[in-house]
């Protein structure tokens, strides 16, 4: 008994010290959570016909839009209390499916929460081992011990079993991708539906969802394709070459040293490792940090990863302590953003395709728009890299109330906490659409040009991916006595910027759908969800002049969706996230 006591006391003392570390910054992290709870998104599991409010669909517009986002924030537990998730990014995911039939002027809608087993666990009072983006779990000492030890077990000691959990046992809520290639060994698995829909997030986590009923079918990760791809993080946005069908992404290990493994996946699900990045390609061969990368760039010959100063500090140990990703993030002030350039095609298997690490003035991007190559008069390869760029990492805290009611708090006295402005300020605009131009043979940044201000969620005509292009579509935050998220069309050739802006409407990321017989890059429509006065609408916008063509009422709720994809009626990929 004395021996057991001797062994337990040091362990208990260590846990107490860790708990004190956890509580030290607890109030600071609370500041990033919204003060009022967000409302749940209503589920509509059986398809319903939508009412046309105005206009008429183009007869050629036939296909399916998928959107995904956090939707379940308040969960009534068995003991009668309500568990409220207090960060906009952390609600349990709801997938939306909109079937558009322009030839018959019909639109149908269905949706489903894809983490119902997780919801049942929370109902039962079990939140053990959960890791959120920004929401903080409760603070009681014994609850914290159980959660902390469970996270250590799930993410360090036994990371593999979490990928064999129930198909709806984890939260995957950022990007929905139809026709995503599945692992090679699944090809003969008759339990999988023929039409493929996969949800992704910034963790190395994928969820196979039935393309019609939206019922989750499997949880897996990139390690299922290749054992080398079992790092903790990946990008929610892969890059697709629409001509070859190749998909590109990375897997990032945090320990024992930072390692970013860049790979491509073919249509049959086979993978090729393009590079293992542990050091920058500079004169000192300095070690890479562990950056938060939500998306990246692709050109005809290169994959380009932005290593911004927004990093997971201390190998993300604080994520195990706090149960939130943001708690372990830090902005390294006065530190360059590095463009890591990796060859898409290797001369021989096992070659390291990492050829350059080019510094640029510090910035962070959630979303890249496009990238392409050209030649200068000397024949040098020039890379043009377009993204929505933020000058610092403050957006990570500001998104706590994304899509909610905006309240100005700029008068507050601020300081710095982990390199972020604290207390976090209300977001009043988006990042700027910026082009970084690089001379590859000289490994030098040539210029940084702002193409438009206050533009996020950039999307393009998918057939122009990795090619010179003329238009970017996105969202603009219009802040005043009311908050509006407008749709915007940016002419990349110094033409006018056009907007679709309705007072009090918050539009989601636009998806460009080209006319099947289009002769011009902007010959098509944008489709988006628009929230207004407790009601959600499907809006169809003419991509040429940004005027509304049609509007359909979905229901009396305001879903929060991040990203979407569109396939035609034959399930052919048209524009994927």
CA triple 540-542-544, angle to 5 deg: 155
Q: What is the pLDDT of residues 402-426, one digit of tens each?
A: 654 444 454 567 888 899 888 877 7
Answer yes or no: are the C-beta atoms of 114 and 71 closer than 8 Å.
Answer: no
Q: Is the pLDDT of residue 360 over 50?
A: yes
pLDDT at 534: 87
Cα–Cα distance measured from residue 292 to residue 311, given in angstroms and rounded to the nearest whole number: 6
Q: Report CA torsion sign: 506, 512, 517, 521.
A: positive
Question: Other CB atoms closer than 10 Å to residue 110's CB: what's the count?
Answer: 18
Confidence of residue 158 (pLDDT cuts 50, 70, 90): low
Q: Is the pLDDT of residue 6 over 60?
A: no
pLDDT at 427: 79
Cα–Cα distance measured from residue 183 to residue 198, given in angstroms and rounded to the nearest whole number: 12
Once rounded to an integer, what is the mean pLDDT over residues 539-566? Answer: 96
Q: Is the pLDDT of residue 280 over 60?
A: yes
Q: What is the pLDDT of residues 84-102, one digit of tens each?
A: 888 889 999 999 999 999 9
Please provide residue 395's backbone torsions phi and psi, each rounded to the nearest 5 degrees.
Answer: -60, -30
Q: Where are the beta strands (DSSP E) in 336-427?
A: 337-343, 354-360, 364-375, 381-390, 415-417, 420-422
Binding residues for Fe cation: 237, 294, 367, 563
Once rounded to an integer, what is the mean pLDDT over residues 493-502? Answer: 91
User: What kind and span of H or E run contains 84?
Assistant: strand 82-84
Q: What is the pLDDT of residues 437-451, one digit of tens each?
A: 999 999 999 999 999
pLDDT at 479: 73
Q: Report DSSP state, residue 327.
A: G
Q: What is the pLDDT of residues 203-222, one digit of tens each?
A: 999 999 999 999 999 999 99
Once rounded to an integer, what is the mean pLDDT over residues 462-466? Answer: 97
Task: Enumerate the domain spans of the chain.
Answer: 33-575
pLDDT at 4: 41
Once rounded to an integer, what is the mean pLDDT over residues 518-524? Answer: 96
Question: In the numeric block, which tokens belong to residue 490?
Answer: 């940016």
Return the SS3 of 326.
helix
pLDDT at 20: 58
Q: Bridge-partner residues for 459, per DSSP?
A: 473
Q: Is the pLDDT of residue 142 over 80?
A: no
Question: Other CB atoms closer than 10 Å to residue 444's CB: what's the count?
Answer: 13
Q: Is the pLDDT of residue 41 over 80?
A: yes
pLDDT at 7: 43
Answer yes or no: are the C-beta atoms of 527 and 100 closer than 8 Å.
Answer: yes
Q: Is the pLDDT of residue 358 over 50?
A: yes
Secondary structure (DSSP) of 438-502: EETTTTEEEEEEEEESS-EEEE--GGGTTS--SEEEEEEEEESSSEEEEEEEEETTS---EEE--
For the chain, give the percent of residues with pLDDT over 90: 69
Which of 572, 563, 565, 460 is CA-nearest to residue 177? 565
Which ranges of 62-179 would DSSP assign to H, the alpha helix? Answer: 116-123, 141-152
pLDDT at 185: 82
pLDDT at 405: 42
Cα–Cα distance measured from residue 465 to residue 246, given in angstroms and rounded to the nearest whole number: 13
Q: Is the pLDDT of residue 130 over 80?
A: no
Binding residues: 237, 294, 367, 563
Strand order across the beta sheet in which 259-265 lies: 239-240, 247-253, 259-265, 271-277
Confidence of residue 17 (pLDDT cuts 50, 70, 90): low
Q: Report CA torsion sign: 200, 201, 205, 207.
A: negative
Confidence of residue 2 (pLDDT cuts 50, 70, 90): very low
Answer yes or no: are the C-beta atoms of 76 and 575 closer than 8 Å.
Answer: no
Q: Which residue has the tokens 């034959």?
A: 570
Cα–Cα distance measured from residue 11 to residue 354, given in angstroms and rounded to the nearest whole number: 44
Of the listed ranges 66-75, 421-430, 507-516, the least confidently predicted one is: 421-430
Supply the mean pLDDT for the chain: 89
Q: What is the pLDDT of residues 303-328, one digit of tens each?
A: 999 999 999 998 887 787 778 888 88
Confidence of residue 12 (pLDDT cuts 50, 70, 90): low
Answer yes or no: are the C-beta atoms of 288 and 306 closer than 8 Å.
Answer: no
Confidence of residue 514 (pLDDT cuts 50, 70, 90): very high
pLDDT at 577: 93
Cα–Cα distance measured from residue 146 to residue 130, given in angstroms and rounded to the nearest whole number: 11
Q: Which residue has the tokens 């080398």?
A: 228
Q: Is the pLDDT of residue 8 over 60?
A: no
Cα–Cα distance measured from residue 510 to residue 494, given in angstroms and rounded to the nearest whole number: 21
Confidence of residue 378 (pLDDT cuts 50, 70, 90): very high
């Amino acid at each position: 008994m004395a021996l057991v006591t001797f062994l337990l006391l040091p362990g208990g003392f260590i846990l107490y010290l860790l708990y004190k570390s956890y509580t030290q910054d607890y109030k600071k992290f609370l500041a990033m959570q919204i003060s009022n709870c967000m409302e749940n998104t209503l589920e509509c599991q059986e398809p319903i016909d939508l009412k046309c409010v105005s206009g008429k669909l183009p007869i050629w517009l036939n296909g399916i839009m998928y959107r995904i986002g956090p939707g379940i924030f308040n969960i009534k537990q068995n003991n009668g209390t309500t568990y409220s998730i207090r960060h906009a990014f952390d609600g349990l995911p709801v997938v939306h499916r909109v079937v558009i039939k322009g030839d018959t002027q019909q639109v149908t809608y269905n949706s489903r929460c894809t983490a119902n087993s997780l919801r049942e666990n929370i109902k039962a009072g079990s939140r053990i081992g959960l890791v959120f983006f920004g929401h903080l779990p409760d603070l009681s000492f014994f609850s914290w011990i159980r959660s902390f030890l469970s996270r250590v077990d799930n993410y360090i000691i036994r990371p593999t079993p979490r990928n064999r959990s129930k198909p709806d046992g984890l939260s995957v809520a950022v990007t929905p991708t139809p026709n995503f290639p599945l692992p090679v060994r699944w090809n003969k698995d008759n339990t999988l539906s023929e039409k493929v829909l996969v949800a992704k997030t910034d963790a190395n986590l994928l969820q196979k969802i039935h393309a019609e009923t939206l019922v989750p079918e499997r949880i897996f990760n990139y390690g299922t394709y290749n054992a080398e791809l079992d790092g903790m993080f990946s990008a929610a946005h892969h890059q697709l070459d629409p001509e070859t069908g190749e998909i590109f992404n990375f897997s990032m290990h945090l320990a024992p040293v930072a390692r970013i493994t860049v790979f491509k996946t073919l249509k049959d699900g086979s993978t090729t490792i393009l590079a293992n990045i542990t050091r920058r390609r500079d004169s000192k061969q300095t070690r890479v940090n562990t950056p938060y990368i939500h998306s990246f760039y692709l050109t005809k010959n290169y994959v380009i990863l932005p290593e911004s100063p927004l990093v997971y500090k201390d190998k993300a140990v604080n994520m195990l302590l706090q149960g939130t990703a943001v708690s372990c993030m830090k902005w390294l002030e006065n530190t360059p953003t590095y463009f890591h350039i990796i060859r898409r095609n290797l001369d021989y298997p096992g070659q390291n395709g990492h050829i350059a690490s080019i510094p640029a003035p510090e910035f962070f991007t959630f979303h890249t728009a496009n990238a392409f190559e050209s030649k200068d008069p000397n024949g040098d390869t020039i890379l043009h890299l377009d993204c929505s760029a933020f000058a610092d990492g403050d957006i990570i805290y500001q998104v706590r109330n994304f899509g909610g009611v905006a309240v100005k708090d700029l008068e507050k006295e601020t300081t710095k906490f982990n390199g972020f402005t604290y207390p976090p300020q209300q977001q009043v605009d988006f990042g700027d659409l910026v082009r970084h131009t690089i001379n590859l043979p000289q490994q030098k940044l040539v210029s940084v040009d702002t193409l438009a201000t206050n533009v996020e969620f950039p999307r393009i005509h998918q057939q122009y991916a990795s090619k010179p292009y003329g238009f970017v579509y996105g969202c603009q935050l219009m802040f005043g006595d009311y908050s509006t998220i407008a749709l915007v069309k940016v002419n990349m050739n110094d033409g006018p910027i056009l907007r679709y802006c309705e007072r009090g409407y918050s539009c989601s990321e636009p998806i460009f759908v080209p006319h099947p017989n289009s002769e011009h890059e902007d010959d098509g429509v944008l489709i988006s969800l628009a929230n207004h006065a407790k009601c959600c609408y499907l809006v169809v916008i003419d991509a040429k002049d940004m005027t509304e063509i049609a509007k359909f009422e979905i229901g009396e709720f305001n879903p929060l969706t991040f990203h979407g994809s569109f396939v035609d009626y034959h399930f052919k990929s048209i524009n994927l996230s």
